[in-house]
Amino acid sequence: MKQISTALLALGASVVAADSNPYTVESAIYRVEVPYPNSDKIGFGTGVLVARDKILTNCHVLNSHPGWPRVIHRQTGQQFYVTKHYNLGNLDACILVGGFSGTPVRLNTEIQVGENIWIFGFPAGLPVVGQGNIKGLVDTDSGKSILLGAFCAPGSSGGPVVNVKGELIGLNWGTFRYQNQCLSIPASYLKPYLTSS
């Protein structure tokens, strides 16, 4: 009986491992560009597809730059224009609306301290994936945030924070003291707005 139990445990672990791939989210990731009017200067951020016509990003990515946003699909390099955008309540989270491609990300509101995470972003407009773990929840001026032990830098804002299955558990919005400690809006705060929009 003990051998059967061990075999079933090993089989269960291999099924979980086979279903685990944080990079399944890549078709949902976009570089957000906000060109400055009458200039070659561009502000960068990141966004993640949450519905066929909606990309989630940080509002400060849009508000920190004076131009109208456009998005570039991470996998294909295809450019899409944004027709409108709106805030999600008082969160530093905005939805970009348009006709986009890719597979929308799945949400997961459950997090655990020590859990492995991946942050996808575009620091300086370049595609980067940071890997780390969840340190816990911290109070900030913006409310409760997930503290992450992972690299992020300007341009990573609005980037998806995903678990080992590629599910969105948070939206990166800033650093905490150093670039190797990031802050993320928990998916549990985002979910009510995303399921009703």
Per-residue pLDDT at 37: 78
Q: What is the mean pLDDT of residues 111-128?
A: 94
> Considering the entire predicted model, what is its pTM?
0.86
Confidence of residue 196 (pLDDT cuts 50, 70, 90): low
Confidence of residue 9 (pLDDT cuts 50, 70, 90): very low
Confidence of residue 36 (pLDDT cuts 50, 70, 90): confident
Across the chain, what does the average pLDDT equal? 87
Do 116-196 and 25-97 have the same topology in CATH?
Answer: yes
CB 144 within 8 A of CB 190: no
116-196 to CATH, choices 2.70.98.10, 2.40.10.10, 2.40.10.220, 2.40.37.10? 2.40.10.10
Per-residue pLDDT at 178: 64
Report domain extents, the chain. 25-97, 116-196
Letter string b/e over residues 97-130, b meaning 16 or more CB atoms within 10 A of that residue's CB? ebebebebbbbbeebeeeeebbbbbbbeeeebbb
Task: Quote the CATH superfamily of domain 25-97.
Answer: Trypsin-like serine proteases (2.40.10.10)
Length of the chain: 197
Q: Which helix (H) or strand (E) holds 150?
A: none
Between 35 and 122, name the one with better pLDDT. Answer: 122
